[in-house]
Amino acid sequence: MKPIRKLAFVVNAEKDGALVLVRHLALIARQAGVQFKQTSRTRLPEGYLNGCDACCVIGGDGTLLGVARESARAKVPIIGVNRGSLGFLTTFSADEARANFSSLLGGAFRVDDRAMLDCSTGRGAHDLALNDVLIKDEINSRLVRLEVFADDELVTEYTCDGLIFSTATGSTAYNLSAGGPIVHPSAAVIAMTPICPHTLSNRSIIFRENVRLRVYNRTPDSRLLVAMDGQRNLKVSERSPVEISVAKLRLPLAQQLDYSHFSVVRAKLKWSGGFVEKA
């Protein structure tokens, strides 16, 4: 990649060690002659990343999710440095960032373009999600009946606690916790996983990239909650379907040159490998 000449730091000040780390990385950037700006606002105003060559996010995956929409719109790669827990998106550890930041500024990284979801819930209600779109009744304790169409074809009607529509990137988040599949991030598909369905045969469904999904609320006297990446909610017009598709925009996510998705999955999920019986 081309060298980074202008950089934005987005730091979650509530994460342990994040402020100390950003001071160290900012010093490296200054010594390399890189212009930079810094904010602790994780919901960036529109245009904040314009003119930047990269955005270094220091925090957890939730911090990165808050920056994702603006990064995708500005086409600015995110360098995610983990100061949270799992860190599927913030794949650089603090030690790796300290050791390799000069090389990163020199362009020693690759960019993965991650698919996002486009969700509309009626006139004027529209948003992007990197991980997932959650549809459920706005009252947590209530079951909901949801009818799903893929293009113009009826898929099925669910009675469940809700539905998760996940990107490949988000397949290791809420989707995985609900029993959904792990999907390689290069697959621009949509995984639909019901939450606690009242039919044992209801399982996850994988839809092709260019599908247009529509979800209708068939529950009497009920209003839906539509949560984008678990951070932002969309209001749902009473009679309008929730429409979901793969977005035209992609999130540019910076990775180490030797990045391996399955190496990250093995480490984060603590896969131990197979049992080998001794002779």
Q: What percent of the chain has pLDDT over 90?
A: 80
In a domain, 1, yes or no: no
- 150 versus 42: the higher-pLDDT residue is 150
The pLDDT score that the predictor gives to residue 85 is 78
Threshold 0.85, pTM exceeds: yes
| pLDDT, mean of residues 195-205 | 91
pLDDT of residue 271: 86
- Which tokens go with 25? 């990385």
Is 182 a domain residue?
yes
Q: What is the DSSP letter of 171?
A: G
- Tokens representing 206 are 């994988």
Give the neighbor-by-neighbor strand order of the sheet with 224-228: 205-207, 190-195, 162-166, 132-137, 224-228, 232-234
pLDDT digits 0-9 by tens, 4-61: 999 999 999 999 999 999 999 999 999 999 999 999 998 899 999 999 999 999 999 9
Q: What is the mean pLDDT of residues 120-134?
A: 91
Whether residue 235 is found in the same domain as residue 122 = yes
CB atoms within 10 A of CB 201: 6
62-118 pLDDT per residue, tens: 999 999 999 999 999 999 999 977 788 999 999 999 999 999 999 999 999 999 999
Q: What is the DSSP string of 220-238?
A: TT--EEEEETTTEEE---T
Q: Which tens digit of pLDDT belongs to each residue from 257-278? A: 998 888 888 888 888 765 555 5
Domain that holds residue 94: 6-109+256-268
Query: What is the rounded distance in angstroms from the CA atom of residue 171 to the CA atom of residue 164?
Result: 10
Query: What total number of domains does the chain contain?
Result: 2
Nearest of 242, 208, 196, 207 to residue 223 by alpha carbon: 242
pLDDT in the model for residue 255: 95
Q: What is the rounded CA–CA span in Å between residue 79 and residue 38?
A: 14
pLDDT of residue 273: 63
For residues 172-185, give the mean pLDDT: 95
Residues 244 and 120 both lie in one domain: yes
Mean pLDDT (whole number) for 187-207: 94
Assigned domain for 279 exists: no
Residue 236 has pLDDT above 90, yes or no: no
- 120 and 105 within one domain: no
- Residue 238: predicted pLDDT: 75
Q: How many helices (H) and strands (E) does the chain have?
A: 5, 16
Helix, strand, or coil here: 195?
strand
Strand 54-59 and strand 6-11: pairing? Answer: parallel
State whether 177 and 133 are in the same domain: yes
- Which positions are catalytic? 61
Conformational region of residue 12, where left means phi above 0, alpha means psi within -120 to 50, and beta covers everything else: beta
Q: Looking at the structure, tell me whether residues 140 and 236 fall in a common domain.
A: yes
Position 64 scores a pLDDT of 96
3-state secondary structure of 13: coil
Quick one: pLDDT at residue 276? 56
In angstroms, the CA 124 to CA 111 distance is 32
Indicate whether 98 and 138 sit together in one domain: no
Report how far residue 244's alpha carbon sits from residue 150's, in angstroms, rounded to the nearest whole number. 10
